[in-house]
Chain A
């Protein structure tokens, strides 16, 4: 889950393109004009960079790290309705700093913005055979969009994930919810993450809400979930320091919450489904993580019914080879983690899918093997077309997983992100 950032130069461009269409109130007329001359750009150097491991402290580090240029809070999940329908969802909040910390002016107005937020919301309705995607942008000011650590909340307009005051009782929810397999129990593992008072820290349940209207289909879609963590947060890479390239600064701080019990409703038009399942959450912040040769990436998050999870990403280089900074993490049922280097796992595409809209050729099924852990997984998308139709094109979709782990059959679900297939991501940086 690398560098999902930066790509939103384009949506910002869209806004600026529009820069001059403003509404004129009293003698109202929309103004039609284009910006033809503008002040020189601010210097973008001066942002903090991820140059080595640092202590990650909760709950403070759940909030925004405004000194870094980009950050995201990434929620994905697989949900099953009581009536059997399968859904996948994605709700991501991106933050981007407009100017480095030293260039920020103190403002009287609450609207003064040096951060911009963008959010993507997608819903995969497997039985309906459709994937819906939406995008929104707002200034990170005046309460319209933002993120905060305690009480935890990240939001953009009415899309929001916010902590629910009390700790919900999750003992009744199976850790393997939405999967076939044996019942689980809340994680017994001790957390590698310390709260600011030194005690093991566990996130409180949160409520996730998003709703959107598809004007082409004249359809309202909404998602309303309660999220309760089974496991403590996972610090990816080296204590949360996740390297993407040889330069020390080409890295990010990366925290995952890999098994989140999720319960609530999905509404597609007039149909409301009671759903439950598992979500996965990533928080990552950085300043320019990717090197110039890296054109895209394949990222996997997999939740298996033996209460283990797997995260793996593979960076693809311009010459088609796999970058040496690809890596992954295996999370055991007790929350202990095992780092995977590029030589520790293999990823073999077994099918392709061509997007009818963009003509992009995507891999559409994989075999993922971790020989050292005796793990072999076959990964298939729940729906072939889960291409995000937002201001830049990528594929982000729910997948189903079958395979064997240490000789035992396992099943599960996950999410896969594929970028750089419909045109290189290079132009986006």
Chain B
């Protein structure tokens, strides 16, 4: 019996190749979307890492010493203790008459230790490692001889091609160096060609040397400026192990004041942004699961529902319910496995294709190669396979049980099912509302557990998706009179037939809706991340042009600007606005505290706050009235409360307590900083000195030209650093934009899946309704009218999905930004809700659905009425 029964199932599939194909396609797509989005996520995450590396460097920590630097033995001891990701650095500013007499950073490194600190090692050593990238990657290996000179020749220097061209220098030329009065001679042994804009700008102000030459030129023999350290992720076990080991070496072996400190840019905002970015991508993967499940559910239930007449007949012939159940489940396992396997392959292709597509416009070869070459996470393949089969079986079980338990006669009629579908709509709606409530409830739990938050997102999305039937019903009914007026009979027919096949259309709408809401969620999330990056860069790289005296000691020095330099600066054409700031250490009952006093009246505007007393406006007002801002490290050090804090400083008028209006993020000084208005500072301290000047350029003034002009004017007055912050900000943002571009792959994927998913759903639906169309054609519908009907139906479904996706997508973005990020990282991003994202999503839903309707419309239109009716 069983054998015969399985033959029945098998033959049925053979006789209906289209339906079988669509069923397997549905499963494969469902799995593919999970795998592809995981892949795109890994690529986006890697791209973001590359961007943060490019902007902030890879060192997470530094070992620093006192004002005189660090005993070089620290480094050897760290290495001997097995701490491997460390690199010694000797650096300070030098000037050279052959190099424009402006301050240049002499950077002394050990090339043997640099490997982990180079961001793009794979590319740089590609040739030597025989990597598959071949010589395509930048940093093409050069000869040993060039390193020999760099290592063995005292005073050997490398400079950028740009710098060499600017000052007419070539390999072999000698340059004299002046390091704070210490004269030495260097010789150029090689030229460097920068691979990107950030490097070009950095190299414009830099000379590279072997660490031995740097020690000799800077008079730092026996000492290091610092040791760069990469420690693993803070949450990993290795972190505490290595941090402890490093600290032990640093503190126990040496009598010096060496200490391990986090690198500012790393431990601050950027690191948290990276973590938040990853978490958000994980949440989006979760949504891909939901999309995948709906696609599988859609195709499986369809395949079973379609065989209701067959099951009815079998039941009439005496086959038991249990046997039908086994038949369907056995088939589901087989089909699920085949479909899932195909889905894995398809997913990898789709994911790689999407990443390839979005990286096409990026001309940084290394970046593109690294992002494209991302490995497929094995966990994602396993997850795809398991969930694919499980979802297939689960999706088949319900309709199989339904078909098997229906009285055989009823099972033969389709209307019975649709009646049932409509009857359960209120129940499903209630379930959806329940899902939303449960999701909301989970999210309301004030926990840092990502599992709970993700479960909340999951239920919230499912809940929204379960509202698809009721939304479809309501929208179809609401559209009925409108469409009737616009399109006549067809306009009335379309919404009715959508509701008549609710069990099918609602699932298609739900899948489309979740896919589109993913694009909305990604769009909003990326928009918000970008806004946050912009404000972070604005805070880090203050002003358009930044003028200061060079300083390299770990503690901030307060070398003031020469007043003559300030006069010259102000007279330089092209300035729209300028401000000055004074940085110095002042006394307090808690020891010395760094103070930064700013002449800018709006200096609170670019800060990223941890906590504030009141709104930004109130903070700005309070600061004008004599309040100060405290940096987060200072707040931690002094144990300042989030609200109503105050800090006492020793002023020239005696001790004074300043109210703290807000605590802002800043790790540039690990001891902490108080920021205040310059007026307030000068009210309490008799200090007219200025440490740095910030220039905002007039519109249309080119930063680089202005910087060169200013350097020319300042030459000979005081060795001042002129930093083109606006250009640096632009370069850094461009670097981040490449990472954000990768998230475009997610949107592409969601769109593709939405389109194919809805296409297969519609094809199934139209196949099923062949007879209905036969009747319609038989009663006189023209081919044109018929095609119009199909497109009206699919357009309506697309619109429903789109309208439902907008609030869902917005809710997703809000949850990600305001709940998950804020809770897990204490870092609230600014929400940037671009209306274009919503319009695009709506258009995507409608266009995808309409396009998906084209093929069925043509196909069904071609079918002769008699053929369609032949079954009668």
Contact = CB atoms under 8 A, between A and B. Distances in A.
Given A23-B117, A24-B206, A32-B120, A108 B111 contact: no
A40 B153 CA distance: 12
B128 A34 contact: no
Contacts of A11: 128
B75 interface: yes
Interface in B148-162: 148-154, 156, 158, 160-161
B146 interface: yes
B139 A158 contact: no
B148 to A, nearest CB: 5
B683 interface: no
Nearest to B128: A14
A41 B143 contact: yes
Interface string A199-218: 00000000000010000000
A30 B54 contact: yes
A32 B366 contact: yes
A183 to B, nearest CB: 38
Interface string B112-138: 111101111100110111000000001
Contacts of A13: 127-128, 141-144
A116 to B, nearest CB: 8
Contacts, number: 267
Interface string A1-43: 0000000011111111111111111111111111111111110
Contact of A16 (B105, B142, B210): B142
A164 interface: no
A429 interface: no
Name the residue in B142, B210, B221 with the highest tally of chain A Cβ atoms < 10 Å from its Cβ: B142
B212 A16 contact: no
A39 B146 contact: yes
A130 interface: no
A39 B141 contact: no
A29 B195 CA distance: 13
Name the residue in B59, B206, B212, B263 with the highest tally of chain A Cβ atoms < 10 Å from its Cβ: B212
Interface stretch (A49-57, A99-107, A406-414): A99-107
Contact of A42 (B105, B149, B203): B149
Given A22-B114, A23-B89, A38 B143 contact: yes
A38 B160 contact: no
Contacts of B216: 107-109
A375 to B, nearest CB: 40
A139 B202 contact: no
A14 B125 contact: yes
A373 interface: no
A36 B212 contact: no
B382 interface: no
Nearest to B117: A23
Contact of B215 (A31, A37, A99, A109): A109
Interface in A173-212: 211
Contacts of B115: 15, 18
Contact of B87 (A23, A31, A109): A23
Contact of B76 (A12, A107, A112, A142): A142
A86 to B, nearest CB: 26
B208 A16 contact: no
Interface stretch (B31-39, B186-194, B409-417, B804-812): B186-194
A38 B149 contact: yes
Contact of A157 (B79, B146, B152, B222): B79
Given A16-B111, A38-B149, A142-B75, A30 B140 contact: no
A111 to B, nearest CB: 4
A428 to B, nearest CB: 12
Interface string A332-371: 0000000000000000000000000000000000000000
A34 B193 contact: yes
Contacts of A113: 151-152, 210, 212
Nearest to B191: A37
A58 to B, nearest CB: 26
A285 B393 CA distance: 70
A34 B189 contact: no
B211 A18 contact: no
A35 B192 contact: yes
Interface in A119-139: 137-139
Interface string A133-162: 000011101111000000000010110000
A114 interface: yes
A18 B117 CA distance: 10
Given A109-B212, A109-B215, A15 B147 contact: yes
A392 to B, nearest CB: 10
A138 B139 CA distance: 21
Given A38-B145, A109-B221, A19 B154 contact: no
Given A28-B59, A109-B216, A157-B79, A142 B72 contact: yes
Contacts of A116: 112, 151
Given A25-B226, A38-B142, A33 B148 contact: no
B62 interface: yes
B632 interface: no
B90 to A, nearest CB: 9
A26 B151 CA distance: 24
A110 interface: yes
B148 A41 contact: yes
A81 interface: no
B75 A31 contact: no
A98 interface: yes
B221 A17 contact: no
A367 to B, nearest CB: 34
A21 B161 CA distance: 15
A139 B198 contact: no
A115 B607 CA distance: 50
B142 A111 contact: no
Contact of A98 (B118, B148, B154): B148
Nearest to A112: B212
14 contacts: A16-B142, A17-B139, A18-B124, A22-B208, A25-B91, A32-B54, A38-B146, A39-B189, A98-B151, A109-B212, A116-B112, A138-B112, A144-B79, A158-B79
**Which A-B residue pairs are the 5 nearest by beta carbons?**
A21-B118, A17-B141, A41-B145, A28-B57, A38-B146
